[in-house]
């Protein structure tokens, strides 16, 4: 049986579909208490006083902690996990992110106190009676505005709210000179708006200090339990790591927002030792809107220069990246090493310079959100490409084909060295665009578009040919770029005496289907049925170490670690088999679950070998018993999926309503283990990317209030907003990992957004505009058409 490449149904779905998933909020511990946070309603306000006297006396209240208590305990706050220093070498500004603020609130939702009670309702009632006196200050929510002199100061010791500035690529003067001398320059100023992650499961955390063992357990809705443990122990609370267990049980979606170490996790752990009882905190949906790290929020000016034949000569980009009020765990990496480094795109642009100001504002922190930096880079490049084609009277597909990097497989031909630090692993870009054009029926579409003129309906087509980078690695390189963690993965393959296999992975599934895809890999590589394989993840007491799941890294990095352990198992298994078969290891072949002496019918089954490993009566001399191996895999490079997304829209000129008629996605994610799961990842990503274009976007008022912080006002894309996706793939294997896989979790979200906006711009090309701010509402389109 070959499992790899087949659409095996997801084994985890039984428990999810039948409501038997085990999420953090489902966990109930004896003696458990419930926490409710008192949060600042103001975006920027000094805390004059906090009066808990009345609240403390209320029914069921166990304890109330304020910022004074965490200050007194000497807790510095949650750290940032990535350091990006200023252009001039100065150290990144990294003001503390306190668990509870005692001096001032820096965004609406900043926690001032934690109320712990016997029930959540009691905690909530008492939280309402904690009297906080605020001195409200002017707030700033826009990163560009925050840089100006006289803007409100989010942190007293961060002048002009600049956390750091950064640049990458060729010298700016060279780039600017090339732009100045170019035949044509396309300039765009745009906003890549803030989106809120909106995982269906709100964040939740339970802290439990077990006085019998002096051991802490944190259950938390996280994408990376070990990383949380490391940060909690080494940076926040100074706890002994062997006395802390972090469990990320079933997690209902993360999209990046559950990578980060949040204050509430540290609070429930610290608090549980103070009161010697477990504490559960679960976000209300409103708290999710106010406190989950958000995504995007870039204000950018970008220029792309061309010669008279349409060859790209140079690219410059200047971005204000909104960091929010504090630096979240990976925030500094997102607009820099995950954004600037992708600005080569699929094009041979010889000169590139990107410059970023990372800015504090009175808003919720911004960090990685599905795609993290690469969607912003793709949006920048692909909007420029279509706009340039329009301005130069060129066909957008042809303009791309002309500028594509030539194919290279990373084996015969070297990887492609970009102007912005990265070296692409393997790529063959023409086929994805050509396949897309074929699927869309490009010539017919252009004819239909002409025919629609004057009917009150405008048709438009938009392209996006993207590249992205997954499985960020190797550790030494990311360390040099400022990461305060490694980016490898671990896996243990434990063969039981009966030949059944438990696999412990440091990756963490929160919707991706690891329990299926990983089991497919293991079953195939070991020649055993999938039913004999169990994938275990998400518990730091079960899994030796792990870096978790984000950046589409799980199969490329975590899967490769599993393969390494399988190789070790099979290598030792062969020694045992050789002994049992009285043959030499070199004369054995392993296939379909048994070792066979080449050219004979003498064989021994995997199960017999595993039994022998644990009942080593007749056993090779000097070989240790057991069949159980761990590996750590640190990749040689990132992987670079790419693809082509094409969107067709129809606009009603009378109402400004936009309908997506078709959406075509041809992605190359390397080898595919489970096509159904990859399709699902692409579909979900497309919905999110299209959602950014048409639906989503945080709106703050002048005082820093999020005015669309509920589902009554914050638009999420729904199934009936979307067409039936037409998807296909090409396969360019990754040359540097054993599975040849590249990663598929974010591609849909990375490529789709500019395709949609480009399609709307193509439809509106008669109106002399070059940009429309996302989300594209009917009102905005109507304004353009009707000139208001």
Partner 1 sequence: MVPSKFAYHRPSTVKEAIELLAAHGDDSKILSGGHSLVPVLKLRLNDPEHIIDVSGIESMGGIRDNEKSITIGANATHGEIANNAALKAHAPMIAHAASMIGDVQVRNFGTIGGSIAHADPAADWPAVLLAADANVVLSHAGGQREVDIDQFFKGLFMTAMDEEEIITAIRIPKTAFNKNSTYVKFPQPASRFALVGCAAAIANSDGYITEARVAFSGVSGTPFRDSNVEKSLKGSVLNEGSIATATASVADGVSILSDHFAKENYRKHMAGVYARKALSALA
Residues that bind partner 1 (CB under 8 A): 120-121, 124-125, 128, 284-286, 654-656, 695, 699, 707-708, 711-716, 721, 777-779, 782-783, 788
Q: Are strands 533-537 and 501-505 parallel, antiparallel or unpaired?
A: parallel
Minimum gap (Å) between residue 464 Cβ and partner 1? 23
How far apart CA 74 and CA 315 sit, in angstroms, is: 48
- Tokens standing for residue 413: 């031909």
Centre a 10 Å sphere on the Cβ of residue 392 and count the other Cβ atoms it contains.
15
Question: Residue 135 or 779: which CB sits closer to partner 1?
Answer: 779
Minimum gap (Å) between residue 660 Cβ and partner 1? 14
378 contacts 750 by C-beta, under 8 angstroms: yes
**Residue whose entry in the numeric block shows the structure tokens 């509402």:** 777
Minimum gap (Å) between residue 257 Cβ and partner 1? 19
How far apart CA 277 and CA 209 sit, in angstroms, is: 7
Minimum gap (Å) between residue 40 Cβ and partner 1? 17
Minimum gap (Å) between residue 281 Cβ and partner 1? 14
Q: Are strands 628-633 and 603-605 parallel, antiparallel or unpaired?
A: unpaired
Alpha helix positions (H), 419-513: 430-440, 442-452, 475-480
Question: Residue 472 or 695: which CB sits closer to partner 1?
Answer: 695
The CA distances from residue 727 to 20, 570, 603, 774, in Å, are 32, 38, 45, 25
52 contacts 64 by C-beta, under 8 angstroms: yes
Minimum gap (Å) between residue 691 Cβ and partner 1? 11
How far apart CA 285 and CA 390 sit, in angstroms, is: 43
Minimum gap (Å) between residue 726 Cβ and partner 1? 24
Minimum gap (Å) between residue 145 Cβ and partner 1? 19
The CA distances from residue 479 to 230, 293, 369, 709, 743, in Å, are 16, 23, 21, 37, 22
What is the number of H-type helices and E-type strands within the chain? 20, 28
Kindly state the helix (H) or strand (E) to which residue 47 belongs, with its residue range.
strand 45-51
Backbone angles phi, psi at 495, to 5 degrees: -90, 130
- Tokens standing for residue 702: 């002048």
Sign of the CA dihedral with 672 first, then 673, 677, and 681 last: negative
Three-state secondary structure of 76-137 = CCCCCCECCCCCCCCCCCCCCCCCCCCCEECCCCCEEEEEEECCHHHHHHHHHCCEEEEEEC
């Amino acid at each position: 049986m070959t499992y790899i490449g087949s659409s095996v149904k997801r084994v985890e779905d039984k428990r999810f579909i039948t409501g038997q998933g085990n999420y953090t909020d489902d966990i109930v511990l004896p003696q458990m208490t419930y926490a409710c946070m008192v949060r600042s309603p103001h975006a920027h306000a000094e805390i004059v006083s906090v009066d808990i006297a009345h609240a403390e006396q209320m029914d069921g209240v166990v304890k109330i902690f304020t910022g004074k208590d965490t200050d007194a305990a000497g807790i510095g706050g949650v750290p940032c996990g990535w350091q990006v220093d200023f252009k001039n070498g100065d150290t990144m500004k990294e003001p503390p992110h306190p668990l509870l603020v005692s001096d001032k609130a820096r965004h609406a939702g900043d926690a001032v106190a934690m109320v712990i009670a016997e029930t959540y309702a009691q905690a909530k009632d008492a939280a309402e009676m904690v009297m906080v006196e605020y001195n409200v200050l002017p707030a700033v929510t826009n990163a560009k505005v925050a840089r100006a002199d006289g803007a409100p100061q989010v942190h007293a010791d961060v002048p002009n709210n600049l956390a750091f500035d950064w640049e990458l690529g060729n010298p700016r003067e060279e780039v600017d000179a090339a732009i100045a001398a170019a035949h044509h320059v396309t300039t765009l100023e745009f906003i890549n708006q803030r989106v809120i992650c909106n995982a269906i499961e709100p964040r939740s955390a339970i802290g439990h200090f077990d006085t019998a063992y002096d051991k802490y357990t944190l259950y938390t809705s996280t994408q990376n339990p070990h990383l949380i443990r490391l940060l909690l122990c080494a940076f926040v609370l100074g706890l002994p790591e062997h006395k802390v267990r972090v469990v990320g049980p079933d997690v209902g979606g993360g999209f990046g927002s559950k990578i980060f170490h949040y204050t509430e996790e540290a609070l429930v752990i610290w608090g549980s030792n103070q009161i010697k009882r477990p504490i559960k905190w679960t976000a209300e949906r409103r708290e999710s809107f106010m406190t989950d790290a958000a995504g995007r929020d870039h204000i950018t000016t970008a220029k792309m220069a061309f010669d008279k034949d349409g060859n790209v000569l140079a690219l410059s980009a200047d971005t204000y990246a909104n960091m929010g009020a504090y630096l979240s765990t990976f925030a500094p990496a997102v607009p820099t090493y995950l954004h600037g480094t992708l600005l080569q795109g699929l094009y041979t642009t010889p000169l590139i310079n990107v410059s970023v100001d990372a800015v504090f504002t009175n808003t919720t922190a911004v960090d990685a959100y599905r795609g993290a930096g690469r969607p912003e880079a793709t949006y920048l490049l692909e909007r420029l490409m279509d706009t340039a084609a329009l301005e130069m009277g060129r066909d957008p597909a042809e303009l791309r084909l002309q500028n594509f990097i030539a194919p290279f497989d990373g084996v015969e031909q070297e990887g492609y060295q970009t102007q912005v630090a990265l070296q692409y692993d393997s790529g063959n870009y023409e086929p994805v665009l050509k396949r897309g054009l074929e699927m869309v029926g490009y010539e017919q579409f252009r004819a239909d578009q002409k025919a629609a003129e004057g009917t009150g309906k405008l048709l438009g087509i938009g392209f996006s040919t993207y590249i992205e980078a997954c499985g960020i690695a190797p550790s030494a390189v990311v360390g040099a770029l400022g990461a305060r963690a490694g980016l490898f993965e671990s896996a243990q393959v434990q063969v039981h005496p009966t030949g059944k296999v438990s696999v412990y992975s440091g990756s963490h599934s929160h919707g991706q289907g690891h329990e299926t895809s990983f089991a497919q890999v293991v079953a195939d590589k070991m020649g055993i049925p999938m039913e004999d394989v169990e994938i275990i993840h998400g518990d730091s007491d079960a899994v030796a170490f792990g870096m978790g799941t984000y950046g589409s890294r799980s199969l490329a990095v975590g899967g490769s670690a599993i393969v390494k352990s399988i190789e070790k198992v099979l290598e030792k298994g062969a020694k045992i088999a050789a002994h049992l078969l009285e043959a030499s290891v070199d004369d054995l072949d392993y296939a379909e679950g048994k070792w066979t002496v080449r050219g004979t019918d003498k064989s021994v089954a995997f199960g017999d070998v595993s039994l022998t490993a644990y009942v080593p009566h007749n056993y090779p001399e000097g070989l240790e018993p057991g069949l159980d191996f761990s590996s750590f895999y640190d990749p040689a490079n990132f992987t670079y999926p790419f693809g082509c997304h094409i969107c067709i829209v129809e606009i009603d000129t009378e109402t400004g309503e936009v309908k997506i008629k078709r959406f075509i996605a041809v992605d190359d994610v390397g080898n595919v283990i489970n096509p159904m799961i990859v399709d699902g990842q692409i579909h979900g990503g497309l919905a999110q990317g299209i959602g950014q274009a048409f639906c989503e976007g945080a709106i703050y008022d002048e005082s820093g209030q999020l005015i669309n912080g509920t589902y009554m006002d914050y638009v999420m894309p729904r199934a009936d907003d979307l067409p039936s996706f037409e998807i296909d793939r090409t396969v360019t294997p990754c040359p540097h990992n054993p599975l040849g896989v590249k990663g598929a979790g974010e591609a849909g979200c990375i490529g789709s957004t500019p395709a949609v906006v480009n399609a709307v711009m193509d439809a509106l090309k008669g109106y002399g505009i070059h940009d429309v701010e996302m989300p594209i509402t009917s009102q905005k389109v109507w304004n353009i058409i009707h000139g208001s």
